[in-house]
Structure formats: structure tokens, C-alpha cells
Amino acid sequence: MAANATPINDLETRQRLLEAAARLFAEHGFQHVTVREICKEAGANVAAVNYYFRDKSGLYEEVIRRIVVFMQQMMERAHDAGPNKSAEERLRHYIRTFLQHILQSGEKCWQGMLMAREMTDPTPGLDLIFQQAIRPNSDRVRDLISEIMGRPPADPLVGMCVASVQTQMVGLANPIARRFIPNFTPEVIEAIAVHITRFSLGGIHAVAGSVGEAKS
């Protein structure tokens, strides 16, 4: 092995590569970052990416897997409202926690920046995020709204209410929303959470009630 080759099982180098790649991918996108730039940023040999991750795509996949874990942990916190809470209280906790996450750190953390890029310029990594983070979370929200509505989770009306709740929140995590509300302070986030919860619960009950009226 050459003197400047990447040492076997050098976990510190692997970690530096992941951190450097995450920052660069988030700032510039997968297509606009080279292996050489990543290695320079990480202070690693240019062969290190191939050694640890096979190629740039393998490195990107590992970065995406870190986003998945990050999102899974956040979703667990969002759905952990504590014991003996009603479905409406659990929805309120979910909305507040979700908004705190995406609005307090969305522009600053690389996870939020890279997710925004995946939404506008998707790679195969988006499928992994969808299957392992977004879809499971959507299923949990569906079960919650199903309980509030008193209708089966597979009911299309439940699915539409899930989409309505999620769209209100995700829509705030974009550059346009930042121009309307440049500073998402804790007080502003709380006010938005209260509004979205009231608006959502009102809509959910209205939809559930209109269905009952149509049947009578």
C-alpha cells in the first residue's frame, strides 16, 4: 500500500467523507459535486470514496440513509405525545413538533437543504426516503386521522385529509414562505401550529360530518 493510501478501517476518514459530502451535496446538488471536491473538503486521499463507498453514487446513498434515520427519529418524537392522549391531542402534538423541526432548522441543517433539493430535482435517493420515512409517517398520520373521523384508514376521504394536513406544513418549508415570514421564531411557529391544528380539525370534522349527512 502506498504511503498516502487510505488506511484500512480508518473510520475517522470515512466519517469526514460523509460529513463533507453531506455539506457539498446539500449546497450544490449531487450532479454538481465531484469526488475530488469531496475528498479535498474531507482532507482525504482521492481514492477514499471508491475504497469506502464504491463510487460517488454509493456515497450519496449513504448520505441519504443518514437523512432517513434523521427523519425517522424526528417522526418518532412527533408521534410521541405521551400516554392517554386523545387523537386530537396527538394530532396537535404531531403538527407542533413537525413544524418546529422543519421551520427552526430547515434552512440551516444539511438534512433540510438536501431534502429540498430532492423535492425539486429528485434522484433515486428520493425513493429510499419515501419508502423508509415518508410513507411510514403518512401511514401513522392516516391512522390518527382515521380515529378522529371514525372512518377506516383506507377510506379515500381519510387519505385526502392526511394530504391536506401534510401539505399545509410542508408548504411552509420553501423559499417563497421564507420571503413572507423571514424569521420563524418559536412564537411564530407556535401560532402557525395552533392555526393549522384548528383549521385541520375543523376541516376533518366537517368532512366526516358531511359524509354522515349525505348518508342520512
Calpha distance 177→159 (Å, rounded): 25
Q: Got the DSSP string for 118-147? A: HHHS--THHHHHIIIIIHHHHHHHHHHHHH
Q: Which residues contact 132 (CB under 8 A, 6 or more apart)?
A: 68, 72
The yes-or-no verdict on residue 3 having pLDDT over 60 is no
CA angle 59, 67, 7 (to 5 degrees): 35
Calpha distance 145→147 (Å, rounded): 5
pTM: 0.84
Summarised one tens digit per residue, pLDDT across range 158-214 is 999 999 999 999 988 877 888 898 889 999 999 999 999 999 999 999 999 886 554
Summarised one tens digit per residue, pLDDT across range 87-108 is 999 999 999 999 998 887 654 5
Which segment of 34-38, 134-138, 207-211 scores lowest on mean pLDDT? 207-211
The yes-or-no verdict on residue 112 having pLDDT over 70 is yes
Residue 80 confidence (pLDDT):
96
Instruction: Let me know how long the chain is.
Output: 216
The yes-or-no verdict on residue 76 having pLDDT over 80 is yes
Give the residue ranges of DSSP H helices in the chain: 11-28, 35-42, 48-53, 56-78, 87-104, 110-120, 125-129, 135-149, 156-170, 175-180, 186-215
